[in-house]
Amino acid sequence: MKIQEECVPCLLKRIIFEAQHSTNDKKIKTHTIKKSCKLLSEIYNPNVSSAIIATKVHKIAYETLGDKDPYKDLKDSSNKIACSLVPKVEHLIKCSDDTLRICMICSIVGNMMDFGISGASDDPEHLGEIFEEIFIEDLGHDNTDEVKKLLSKAKRVMLFTDNCGEIVFDKILCKELKKFNSKIFLTVVVKGEPIISDATIEDVKKLKFNEVCDEILTTGCFAIGLDFEKVSTELKNALDKADLIICKGMANYEAFSETNYAPIVYMLRTKCTAIAKSLKLPLNINVVKLVK
């Protein structure tokens, strides 16, 4: 997705959030915000991917703050809160005759945990309060039947994770994917370095993702979504061999929508107008969208 005008205040709002969360030093906060604004004004180009621009702005913010992981405590809290909701998710699955679809919805509900942006929650505790409300909304765009057809024939599937907290439900989804088709070789991909609230290898190791997938890879670098110019040979080969790519969250959509990889299923909540417009879907709905 190319950067949109409305991406600018959203990106800066997130920079302000992480500066305020990282330090109480007003000089450092001011310096971080000024440097981020200056860089954004220099590199803003409506013909460039929003993910590429956001990566560069976050990079300079982290460097100026001197903080490699300003969201660390929020990520840990998110995983803890999400784990407390697992019994509720398992009950929903048990009561359903379409367990894979239910797992997809729960995984998308977890996408509400996103910090420093409009349309999401800044407090991990909030997920417990809104979980049922967002779940009951069901899917506003539903390609699950088509996705199941592809999954039934697939040999290699990749799942690109998004936020912490959300990954707790992604683990349940992975388990269900393997149940749906036990022959699938499932690769889970996490961020190569801490960036915003996204999951890293440390997070999936703690949650024992090795129990539900065949392989865990990383994006290999600091990037919003995925920096395709810095992708390792191993990850590129996996992408080239994949029969289906599952992309969780908005940042992965921003990155992958600029490529020709297919088929891809995007699983997310349309939390901002730029994403909603790009997908040609309403704002604030749960989405399972297949792109062939």
Give the CATH number of the domain where residue 29 resides: 1.10.8.380
Is 1 within the bounds of a domain? no
Instruction: With cut-offs at 50, 70 and 90, classify the pLDDT of residue 127.
Output: confident
Phi-psi region of 193 (alpha: psi -120 to 50; beta: other; left: phi over 0): beta
Instruction: With cut-offs at 50, 70 and 90, classify the pLDDT of residue 250.
Output: very high
The model carries a pTM of 0.96
Predicted local confidence at residue 209, as pLDDT: 98
- Residues 173 and 116 grouped into a single domain: yes
Is 230 within the bounds of a domain? yes
Predicted local confidence at residue 122, as pLDDT: 66
Is 2 within the bounds of a domain? no
Predicted local confidence at residue 193, as pLDDT: 98
Q: How many CB atoms lie within 10 A of CB 267?
A: 29
- Residues 59 and 77 grouped into a single domain: no
177-209 confidence digits (pLDDT tens): 999 999 999 999 999 999 999 999 999 999 999
Across 25-57, b (16+ Cβ under 10 Å) vs e yields: eeebbeebbebbeebbeeeeeeeebbbbbbbbb
With a cut of 80, say whether residue 68 has pLDDT above it: yes
Domain count, the chain: 2
State the average pLDDT for the chain.
96
CB 16 within 8 A of CB 61: no
With a cut of 70, say whether residue 102 has pLDDT above it: yes
Cα–Cα distance for residue pair 133/131, rounded to 1 Å: 6
37-66: average pLDDT = 98
Domain that holds residue 36: 7-65
Q: Which of 15, 49, 65 is a domain's end point? A: 65
- Residues 198 and 114 grouped into a single domain: yes
- Residues 235 and 276 grouped into a single domain: yes
